[in-house]
């Protein structure tokens, strides 16, 4: 402290003490003694004196204005009192959906651990949490994607978790049996077209809590270990019979299908991948607000060249390969909903290139250049709505 500052502070406090007549004489004397000048020595006595002077100043002001002491004590309590812990989210007996649509991510790890009142499953991701659906079922029997083979896990109930636009990192187990109070077994039941799905066998049909956390990105699924009195929706019933184990035969003919209607369905994704025995092209659609999900009406043409015509310009387009496929969707568009590449060159065994040829007046068309003449198979799948075109490989 500077000499001038110390002198001014002493004079001010001396004046305040003189004007405060309500102080007893003995207290005023102690104040005078406390602010009397002393020889400056080390810094520690100076700091102690400064603290004492501050306390005296607060006492003087408090006697002259009692509301000040309330403000000071309130602020001190706010500093010392710890912040309240956030209220944990409740468990619910409903299916859940979330994540981010249209992003690509990688599942890097799966962890389990017991907690007081629940078992926790953590799915770690490299990148953001992808779009997911969690459905509950009253059986631990699931259907593998895409073979349709049934698989039964340990437990009396089940949870099915589907991640979209997701790859698996090396080392992620395909089956684990933590044998916890509720979570009995976790098995990968699908890894197809960048759609990864898991079946979770649980001891009974319990309620769940789902948390989306960051740093790192992870999806947390808490499964209650105690009975719940919730009266919310019951688990999704399991189909009485598994899906067909055969995806169907390949045919060397043009194909058509889908469901006509309006408004136009929105193309949200198009992906290409190779599977044993065939190359697969997938068109994924979403309905507009209030509309019913469906695969839009389509026609699939086979052709003996990789030359196409754009709609509506009529300009020729030549793709890689010697043969081609053209698919035309009615009442469909991707103008605002599809944000990925409209010209892919995957260079698979047969499918060499896939390109959009037209998106005009709710008529959406794509072409595929093939390395050889091949037979095809089409599948119309739901949740989400998608048309699958399998191109047979040698």
pLDDT in tens, 107-137: 999 999 999 999 999 999 999 999 999 988 8
Phi, psi at 364, each rounded to 5°: -110, 130
Side-chain-side CA neighbours of residue 279 (13 Å): 25
Instruction: Give yes or no: residues 76 and 105 share one domain.
Output: no
In-domain check, residue 87: no
pLDDT digits (tens, 9 = 90+) for 378-388: 999 988 999 99
pTM: 0.48
Instruction: Give yes or no: residues 269 and 350 share one domain.
Output: yes
Is 330 in contact with 260 (CB distance < 8 Å)? yes
DSSP at 145? B
Say if residue 364's pLDDT is above 70.
Answer: yes
Looking at 33, 52, 80, the residue that finishes a domain is 80
Query: How many residues can be counted in the chain?
Result: 394
What is the pLDDT at residue 41?
A: 47
Residue 281, exposed/middle/buried by CB under 10 A (0-12, 13-18, 19+)? buried
The span from the CA of 231 to the CA of 93, in Å, is 8
pLDDT digits (tens, 9 = 90+) for 69-99: 554 455 545 545 554 545 567 888 888 899 9
Instruction: Give yes or no: residues 270 and 304 share one domain.
Output: yes
What is the pLDDT at residue 378?
A: 95
pLDDT digits (tens, 9 = 90+) for 22-63: 555 665 566 566 555 555 445 556 666 666 565 655 555 555
Residue 284, exposed/middle/buried by CB under 10 A (0-12, 13-18, 19+)? buried
CATH number, domain containing residue 116: 2.60.40.3500
How is residue 192 written in tokens?
Answer: 């197809």
102 or 16: whose pLDDT is higher? 102
Confidence of residue 235 (pLDDT cuts 50, 70, 90): low
Q: How many domains does the chain have?
A: 3
- DSSP lists the bridge partners of residue 256 as 299
Say if residue 180's pLDDT is above 50.
Answer: yes
Say if residue 13's pLDDT is above 80.
Answer: no
In-domain check, residue 236: no
In-domain check, residue 245: no
Is 302 in contact with 391 (CB distance < 8 Å)? no
The span from the CA of 389 to the CA of 302, in Å, is 12
How is residue 38 written in tokens?
Answer: 């002393």
In-domain check, residue 214: yes
What is the pLDDT at residue 231?
A: 39
- Quick one: average pLDDT of 322-327? 96
Instruction: Give yes or no: residues 204 and 152 share one domain.
Output: yes
In-domain check, residue 335: yes
Is 94 in contact with 134 (CB distance < 8 Å)? no
Residues contacting residue 135 through CB under 8 Å, at least 6 positions apart? 95, 159, 160, 235, 236
For residue 70, the enclosing domain spans 3-80
What is the pLDDT at residue 149?
A: 85
Confidence of residue 239 (pLDDT cuts 50, 70, 90): very low
Is 288 in contact with 334 (CB distance < 8 Å)? no
Confidence of residue 311 (pLDDT cuts 50, 70, 90): very high
Is 380 in contact with 257 (CB distance < 8 Å)? yes
Confidence of residue 102 (pLDDT cuts 50, 70, 90): confident
Element (H, E) at 223: strand 218-224
Say if residue 21's pLDDT is above 60.
Answer: no
Confidence of residue 146 (pLDDT cuts 50, 70, 90): confident
Quote the percentage of the chain above a pLDDT of 90: 56
Looking at 209, 224, 239, the residue that finishes a domain is 224
285 or 206: whose pLDDT is higher? 285
- Quick one: average pLDDT of 273-294? 93
- DSSP lists the bridge partners of residue 258 as none
What is the pLDDT at residue 281?
A: 96
Task: Please state, rounded to an integer, the average pLDDT across all residues of the chain.
Answer: 82
Cα torsion through 78, 82, 85, 86, rounded to 10: 30
């Amino acid at each position: 402290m500077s000499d001038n500052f110390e002198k001014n502070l002493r004079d001010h406090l001396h004046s305040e003490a003189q004007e405060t007549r309500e102080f007893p004489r003995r207290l005023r004397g102690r104040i005078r003694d406390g602010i009397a000048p002393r020889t400056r020595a080390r810094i520690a006595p100076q700091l102690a004196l400064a603290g004492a002077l501050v306390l005296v100043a607060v006492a003087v002001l408090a006697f002259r204005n009692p509301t000040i002491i309330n403000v000071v004590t309130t602020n001190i309590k706010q500093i010392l009192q710890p912040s309240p812990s956030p209220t944990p989210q409740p468990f619910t007996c409903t299916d859940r959906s979330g994540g981010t649509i249209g992003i690509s991510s990688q599942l890097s790890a799966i962890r389990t651990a017991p907690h007081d009142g629940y078992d926790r499953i953590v799915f770690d991701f490299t990148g953001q949490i992808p779009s997911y659906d969690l459905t509950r079922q009253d059986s631990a029997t699931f259907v593998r994607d895409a073979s349709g083979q049934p698989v039964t896990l340990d437990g009396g109930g089940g949870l099915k978790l589907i991640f979209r636009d997701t790859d698996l990192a090396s080392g992620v187990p395909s089956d684990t049996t933590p044998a916890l109070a509720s979570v009995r077994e976790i098995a990968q039941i699908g890894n197809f077209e960048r759609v990864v799905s898991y079946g979770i066998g649980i001891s009974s049909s319990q309620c769940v809590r789902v948390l989306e956390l960051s740093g790192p990105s992870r999806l947390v699924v808490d499964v209650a270990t105690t009975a719940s009195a919730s009266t919310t929706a019951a688990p999704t019933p399991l189909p009485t019979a598994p899906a067909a184990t055969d995806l169907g035969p390949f045919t060397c003919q043009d194909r058509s299908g889908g469901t006509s209607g309006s408004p136009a369905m929105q193309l949200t994704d198009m992906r290409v991948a190779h599977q044993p025995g065939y190359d697969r092209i997938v068109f994924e659609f979403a309905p507009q607000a209030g509309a019913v999900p469906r695969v839009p009406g389509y026609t699939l043409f086979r052709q003996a060249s990789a030359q196409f015509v754009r709609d509506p310009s009529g300009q020729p387009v030549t793709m890689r390969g010697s043969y081609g496929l053209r698919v035309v969707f009615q009442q469909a568009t991707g103008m605002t909903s599809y944000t990925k590449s409209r010209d892919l060159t995957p260079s698979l065994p047969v499918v060499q290139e896939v390109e959009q040829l037209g998106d005009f007046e709710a008529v959406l068309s794509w072409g595929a250049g093939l390395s050889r003449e091949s037979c095809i198979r089409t599948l119309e799948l739901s949740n989400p709505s998608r048309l699958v075109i399998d191109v047979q490989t040698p």
